[in-house]
Amino acid sequence: MQVGLYFGSFNPIHIGHLIIASHVLNVTSLQRVWFVISPQNPFKPSSTLLNEYDRLHLVNKAIEGDDRLRASEVEFSLPRPSYTAHTLAYLEEKYPTYSFQIIMGSDSFQNLPKWKNAGAIIGRYPILVYERPGFPVADTHGAEVTLLQAPLLEISATHIRGLLHDGKSIRYLVPDAVAEEIRSSRFYRKGPGSA
């Protein structure tokens, strides 16, 4: 099984993520893409972070019925913050017959040398990089890189959280089932207990 690992906070998952996952499956030999939900990204503040099980639930809502896609909670039981090198080592052990590639935007890829055990990631895994505006891929950092020209939508989870905070619509930015779940569960609203 050839699996593309798409790591992120997915706080929440949005159409930009889904378009990339589907595009990668369409243009590469990968058979599956797993959204690996990071409970705590080492580089991001946790103050606006929705509980990881709620984020997992939203990813599952987003991909319902698409057998090519899977939500992975593997990092939930690993030490925090979530270092990708640790996750990869764990997955290698758990799925010895699978081959993994990493999917990332050129913004993340630019920072890769600063990640924990970056050398182990770069030396062991092919990386599928899609170019995001403002982040040209000037250097491969010694990794086996495939550059993808993916259709891009300049939306972010930060923007979506801002809209929700202001009581605005997020229709079309996330799948309808995700918008409905966020609405009915009152996620990302102002007030006590909200993220």
Ligand X SMILES: Nc1ncnc2c1ncn2[C@@H]1O[C@H](COP(=O)(O)OP(=O)(O)OP(=O)(O)O)[C@@H](O)[C@H]1O
List the structure tokens of 138: 């000037």
Query: In the stretch 112-131, what mask flags binding to ligand NCN with x, by CB under 6 A?
Result: ---xx---------------
Nearest to 46 by CA among 55, 36, 34, 57: 55
CA angle, 82 then 149 then 108, to 5°:
25
Nearest to 103 by CA among 30, 20, 5: 5
- Single-letter residue type at 1: M
- Tell the smallest beta-carbon distance from residue 158 to ligand X (Å): 3
User: Near ligand NCN by CB under 6 A, which window of 40-48, 49-57, 135-143, 173-181?
Assistant: 40-48
Which residue in the set 33, 41, 49, 110 belongs to the binding site for ligand NCN (CB under 6 A)? Answer: 41
Query: What's the CA gap between 181 and 183, in Å, rounded?
Result: 5
Which residue in the set 105, 112, 122, 181 belongs to the binding site for ligand X (CB under 6 A)? Answer: 105
Q: What is the CA radius of gyration of the chain?
A: 16
Q: How many chain residues touch ligand X (CB under 6 A)?
A: 17
Asked if 101 is part of the footprint of ligand X (rule: CB under 6 A), the reply reads no
Binding stretches for ligand NCN (CB under 6 A)? 7-9, 38, 41-44, 82-85, 108, 115-116
